[in-house]
Amino acid sequence: MSAADDRRRAVLRAIVADYIAQQEPVGSKALVERHKLGVSSATIRNDMSVLEQQGYISQTHTSSGRIPTQAGYRAFVDALHDDVKPLSVAERHAILDFLEHGVDLEDVLRRSVQLLAQLTNQAAVVQLPNLEISRVKHCEVVALTPTRLLLVVITDSGRVDQRNVELASPLADAHVPVLRDLLNDILVGRTMREATAGLSTLHARAPRELADAVSRCTAVLVDTLVDTTADRLLIAGAGNLTVHRLADLHSVIDALEQQVVVLKLLATAQDLERVSVRIGRENENEEFSQAAIVTTAYGSGDEALGGLGVVGPTYMDYPGTMQKVATVARYISRILQGE
């Protein structure tokens, strides 16, 4: 790689950084004044001409400065590597403190998406845990009245579901722990699919005095375990997009409201500790062809349980956004693992 190539990469980084900061075309004089590039304005202008020919920057009109193209942003992001600065100790402490006050996983995720939207000034999305790999940790049975039970199902991903069960006849207090043990014998340690299959066999094994309670609890649990909440999304900060110059703002906001579209976006976020950036036309969905999307995964151990990320303009602060998305995901994972 020649010295001229190295310098042009530095010029491109400077153009992208300045445009992200000001959203104004960047001229050679400004680059010389703001960045220590060690060459004259004439050399910078020549470098900018080469970068324009290569498709990394464009000129809105003859006398204007340059702005990055989508290819320019991609080259900028690909060159970041270790240049992404870590958050300060105070920032990391504030994030962790805010998330740790969540009462359950869904509350933690709700806090996470709100926090990401605030930190990045973009729209933030997070997917609730993938129930295909979640396992039941415990099922608690609480007698609210002699004919009404409360079932509390807790998974290893931190999900907590509560359901009321109305009984046809009163259930004796002594039978409540027996019912709980029967249910846990089927549920604990099994995935959602396995647990649902096991519940179908429970009625035949239940004592006669528990037949009604078992039947009704089983019906409620099956509905709980196979419902569509695994695909639910939490979205925050869509209003932030109104302050950015997105070519088709309404299409982007409409796409965010379509779960299928956003779930497809997050489907690629399966690698913990890896942040993915898609810029403009790299996004398969046409509505996001003028936007940038930064995603990663959160999980427990080595398993990804869901994706999260932000959607914003192509001139977003990539280093800062990538670091914030990665940090929030890392802290969600730590909370899941009880650290």
pTM over 0.75: no
Q: From residue 333, how far is each of 8, 84, 229, 310 by CA, in Å?
A: 40, 21, 20, 18
| CA–CA gap between residue 19 and residue 16 (Å, rounded) | 5
Domains of the chain in start order, with CATH, are: 3-79 (1.10.10.10), 89-130+231-337 (3.30.450.40), 135-227 (3.30.390.60)
Q: What would you report as the CA-atom Rg of the chain, rounded to the nearest whole angstrom?
A: 26
**Alpha-carbon dihedral sign for residues 163, 190, 266, 321:** positive
Both structure tokens of 145 = 């009245």
Q: Write the pLDDT tens digit of every residue in 127-183.
A: 887 656 678 889 999 999 999 999 998 887 667 778 899 999 999 999 999 999 999
| Averaged pLDDT for residues 6-25 | 90
| Averaged pLDDT for residues 296-318 | 88
SS3 for 265? helix
* pLDDT reported for residue 131: 59
**What is the 8-class DSSP label of residue 101?**
T
Band (pLDDT 50/70/90 cuts) for residue 16 is very high
| CA–CA gap between residue 19 and residue 17 (Å, rounded) | 6
* pLDDT reported for residue 82: 56
* pLDDT reported for residue 300: 78
* pLDDT reported for residue 106: 80
| Averaged pLDDT for residues 288-307 | 86
- Of 61 and 106, which is predicted with more confidence? 106
* pLDDT reported for residue 328: 93
> Which residues have CB under 8 Å from 55's CB, separation 6+?
69, 71, 72
Q: What percent of the chain has pLDDT over 70?
A: 92
| Averaged pLDDT for residues 12-34 | 90
Q: Write the pLDDT tens digit of every residue in 217-258.
A: 988 888 766 654 445 788 888 888 877 776 667 778 887 877
Q: Write the pLDDT tens digit of every residue in 29-82.
A: 888 888 888 888 889 889 999 999 999 999 877 667 889 999 999 999 988 865
pLDDT surpassing 80 at residue 116: yes
| Averaged pLDDT for residues 268-280 | 85
**In one letter, which amino acid is 116?**
L
User: Which residues pair with residue 184 across a beta bridge?
Assistant: none
* pLDDT reported for residue 133: 64
